[in-house]
Amino acid sequence: MTRTLALLLCLSAGLSAPALAQHNAPAEVAPDKERGEQTAADYAAQGRAQLEARLARPVNTGRAKNLIIFIGDGMGVSTLTAARIWQGQKAGRDGESVETAIDAMPHAAMVKTYSHDFQVSDSAATASAIVTGTKTRSGMLGLTPAALRGKCESATGQDVPTLFEQAAGAGKVLGLVSTARITHATPAAAYAHSADRNWESNSELPAGATCRDIARQLVEWPQAGQLKLALGGGRTAFMPQGQADPEYADKQGNRTDRRDLIAEWKKRNPKGQYIWNAAQFGALDAASDAPVLGLFEPSHMQFESDRARDKAGEPSLAEMTALAITKLGSSETGYVLMVEGGRIDHAHHGGNAHRALDDTVAFEAAVAKALEMVDLDDTLVLVTADHSHVFTIAGYPPRGTSIFGLASVTEDGEPVNAKDGKPYTTLGYANGPGAKVEGPRNDPAQEDTEALNYLQQATVPTSGETHAGEDVVVKASGPSAHLFSGTIEQHSIYHIAKHILGM
């Protein structure tokens, strides 16, 4: 969170003087139905069409051969809604009525996100619940709640097998894709058992600790032979100190045990392919059975908004998802794949809604690509979030107003002010770096609230915006997807998915 916030603040510092209030005016609404000019008859027809589609929808009560779990890190309901509007507006359409690929998934449930010990959880405990079927303490991975965070010795004998480990035991092949570090909390939950999510490299272990760091666990994972693809960021945790990063001259590995885990992975996988840039990704043979390890950044991959400016280039989340499905799909025994949109969370922590929504739209594109590629007769696709954020959509903006604009405007496009005489934006945060510590708040009508680096105003000043504790959504398509309904515990996702896989 700290590195992300620093990045966002540095980027903000480099901006030229902001443009003024014309960026906040509501978008002109064209007289067509795509831009919101529906009649009462149109709305009635839309409602009837949705009813008829549901009445005609067949229910597949079978078992699944394959499972894809999409996790939008921090993608709460407000993020889904705002991203839907932004996706439509980017395409020049009426964003409010757009139906995304996630929207179109037929089955849904609300999911409780508390951890064993916190009302508002972190990604380690929530991702662990999804893939192990039990809640654990916040900050821990793949352990029962009998272990204690940060206490290496307390983890002995407390490992909980993950869905990925059990799928490998059933002969299925595995894949991990993330825009965060591949050792970060959510993807690490698939393979790691750790009393602290921060132990990504041995240099982050407590002095004298006998626990294995997370990067080492990935390379030494007993199920690694079934792991056909792992794509994300996080090179430094695999590289020894003093070894120069291949992309950035000022960066190097951070391992103090002198181990080169990338070299060790290559030795364990003599036919495998290690890649770290877009050109190497583009040259991969998706039909090859050779495993792939892709580490595209020293830390997290770029935000989607910044990806085109990356020095060595990076694949999009949709491109990585497509490669994973093609590569794993040739397995006769089936596969289990996790795809994480990890940087939605990081942008929210930085109070930067624009980047958060751009990454959510990129995540939606990956879901759409998967649904286009797979056979839903044998593949269960789940889309969920590990937790939410204190991200709000407020005020009374007219339909068609830019999602990044002012919340309340008159029919003439003039802002409606709050009690301090200033307008406010539709998007905001309950806490975060956008809050003022001293003095009156800024006037957003005099700022470019559309700017990529704009930090939305927040109520409580904190160095980084926090997670939120409300329920999130799980959407489901494929065999027995109807079992995802009502309100469920987060760890029930594991049990339902495992049942549908017939394991």
Helix (H) or strand (E) holding 111: strand 107-112
Alpha helices in 256-341 (DSSP H): 261-268, 278-282, 317-328
Q: How far apart are the C-alpha atoms of 480 and 7, rounded to whole Å? A: 43
Amino acid occupying residue 73: D
CA angle 355, 356, 358 (to 5 degrees): 60
Structure tokens at 145: 């709640």
Q: Tell me the Ramachandran region of residue 348: left when phi exceeds 0, alpha when psi lies from -120 to 50, beta otherwise.
A: alpha
Per-residue b or e along 296-325, where b marks 16 or more CB atoms closer than 10 Å to that residue's CB: bbbbbbbbbbbbeeeeebbbbbbbbbbbbb
Residue 384 three-state SS: strand
Helix (H) or strand (E) holding 476: strand 472-477
Alpha helices in 329-399 (DSSP H): 343-349, 353-373
SS3 content of the chain, % helix, strand, coil (to 5): 35, 20, 50
Residue 87: φ, ψ to 5°: -60, -45
Q: How far apart are the C-alpha atoms of 333 and 331, rounded to whole Å? A: 5
Residues 6+ apart with CB under 8 A from 270: none
Structure tokens at 372: 């286009």
Which member of 121, 123, 128, 201 is catalytic?
A: 123
Asked if residues 397 and 426 have their Cβ atoms less than 8 Å apart, the reply is yes
Pairing of strands 388-389, 467-468: antiparallel
Structure tokens at 444: 């957003």
Q: How far apart are the C-alpha atoms of 503 and 63, rounded to whole Å? A: 10
- Tokens 């003039």 locate to 414
Helix (H) or strand (E) holding 174: strand 173-181
Q: How far apart are the C-alpha atoms of 230 and 99, rounded to whole Å? A: 31
Clarify whether 123 is annotated catalytic.
yes
Query: In 3D, which of 10, 71, 75 has the Cα closest to residue 346?
Result: 75
Residues present in the chain in total: 503
Structure tokens at 70: 């999409």
Residue 132 three-state SS: helix
Asked if residues 234 and 261 have their Cβ atoms less than 8 Å apart, the reply is no
Helix (H) or strand (E) holding 338: strand 335-341
Q: How far apart are the C-alpha atoms of 384 and 365, rounded to whole Å? A: 15
Structure tokens at 311: 């020095």
Active-site residue set: 123
